[in-house]
Amino acid sequence: MADTKVLVVDDSLTMRALITRVLDAQPGIRVVGSANGAEEARVEVDRLKPDVMTLDVEMPGMSGIEYLAELMEKKPMPVVMFSTRTEAGASSSIEALRLGAIDCFPKPKVASQSEFDEILGKLGTRIRGAKVTAIKPVKASAPVASFVWNGRMLVMGTDASGTQKLFDLLGRFPANCPPTLIVAHLAPELIDGLIVELDRHVAPTVTKADDLTVPEQGKVYITRPGAAHVGVDQWPGGRIRQMPRDPIGGERPSISLLFAAQAKAASDQTVALLLTDAGEDGGMGLKAVQKIGGYVVAPPAALGEGGTSDYMLMKGNAREPLAWGDVAARVLKLCAK
C-alpha cells in the first residue's frame, strides 16, 4: 500500500518542522508539504492532493476551526487537529470534532521531541488509518416528533472520529429518548467538554455516567476515561456500575465490555450501536450481543461484513443494510412501542 500523504498546517515554523520530522519517521507516512495558514493550505491541497491534513486550531487570521468548517463543506478530507492543553483548547477541540475532524491531539507546551513521544504511536496509527476513512459532510436534522418508549435501553460506543455522527444522531433523538449509555474513546480532557456541548445542542439531557446511577428515559450518560469499565447490573430496574478491572484491548472503559454487560443484563432486548470501526474495541461486544439474539447496528467492517452500505442492522442471521441517514430512525424504532 502506498504511503499516506500528509499536509502539515501550522502558523509556527518550529511546530511545522517538528510535526514533519515526527511523522516522516513513522512507517507508511510521508509528509508531502506544509502551510503556514489557511490561505497557503488551500493552494497546497489543490497542488499536492494529500490524503490527510494536520491542522493547528489556534492560528492568526482564519482560525483552524474556521478553515476546517470551510474544508468540510468544499473539500472534505480526514483532518487531525492540534490544540493547546487549556480549557479554551478543549472547547475548540470538541468543536473541531463536531465539524468532522477525526481526532484532536494536545499541542506540546514546548516544541520538543520528548513531548511528542507521548502521542507518537497513537498519532501515527490514526493518520495511517485516516487514509481509508470516508469523510462525508453530516447535516443536522430536527428531533423526531413523537416517541413512546418500549423499555429497552440503548448502549453505544464511539471514538473521536465518530463525534460528528454522535452530534447528528443525538440531535435526532427526542427529549424523551430511551436511556442511553455511551463509551466514547476521547482524551480525558475532552470528555467533560463533549458532555457540555452535546447537552447544549440536543434535546435529551446529556450527563456523566456516575456509579450507581439509575438510567432514566430522556437522559444520555457518557463515561469518563479512568480506572473503571462501565455497564448496567440488570435490566430493567438496574443501575450503572463502574467496574475496576484491567484495560481490555488497551481501553478502559471498554466498548466491548459495555456491550457484553448489557447483553448479560438485558438478554435479547439489548440494542447496541457502534458508530465507528476505526479501532479494535467493540467487535467482541458486538458478537456477544449477536449471540444472545440482541440488536446490533454497526459499520459492516466492524461486523466482519463486506458491502457498500454505511451501516448494518443485525439480529441473529437477519441483516439489513442502512444508510447513515436512516440509523437514528431505526435505532429509535427498536426502542419504541
pLDDT tens, residue by residue, 220-233: 999 998 889 999 99
Q: What is the pLDDT of residues 3-53, one digit of tens each?
A: 999 999 999 998 899 899 889 988 999 999 999 999 999 999 999 999 999
Q: What is the pLDDT of residues 129-142, one digit of tens each?
A: 887 776 766 666 77
Q: What is the pLDDT of residues 195-224, one digit of tens each?
A: 999 999 999 999 999 999 999 999 999 999
Reported pTM: 0.90
- The alpha helices in the chain, defined as continuous H runs, are 13-24, 38-48, 64-74, 87-99, 113-117, 120-130, 163-171, 188-201, 255-266, 283-291, 324-334
In angstroms, rounded to a whole number, what is the distance separating the alpha carbons of residues 291 and 155? 16
In angstroms, rounded to a whole number, what is the distance separating the alpha carbons of residues 297 and 148? 21
What superfamily does domain 4-130 belong to in CATH?
Response regulator (3.40.50.2300)
Q: How many CA atoms lie within 13 A of 318 on its CB side?
A: 7
Q: Do domains 4-130 and 154-334 have the same CATH topology?
A: yes
What superfamily does domain 154-334 belong to in CATH?
Methylesterase CheB, C-terminal domain (3.40.50.180)
Residue 292: what pLDDT? 93
In angstroms, rounded to a whole number, what is the distance separating the alpha carbons of residues 4 and 223? 33
Q: Where are the domains of the chain?
A: 4-130, 154-334
Residue 86: what pLDDT? 59
Q: What is the pLDDT of residues 104-133, one digit of tens each?
A: 988 876 666 676 776 767 888 889 888 777
- Decide: 255 and 183 in contact? Cβ < 8 Å: yes
**Mean pLDDT score of the chain:** 90
Between these two residues, 305 and 298, which has the higher pLDDT value? Answer: 298
Q: What is the pLDDT of residues 144-175, one digit of tens each?
A: 878 999 999 999 999 999 999 999 999 999 99
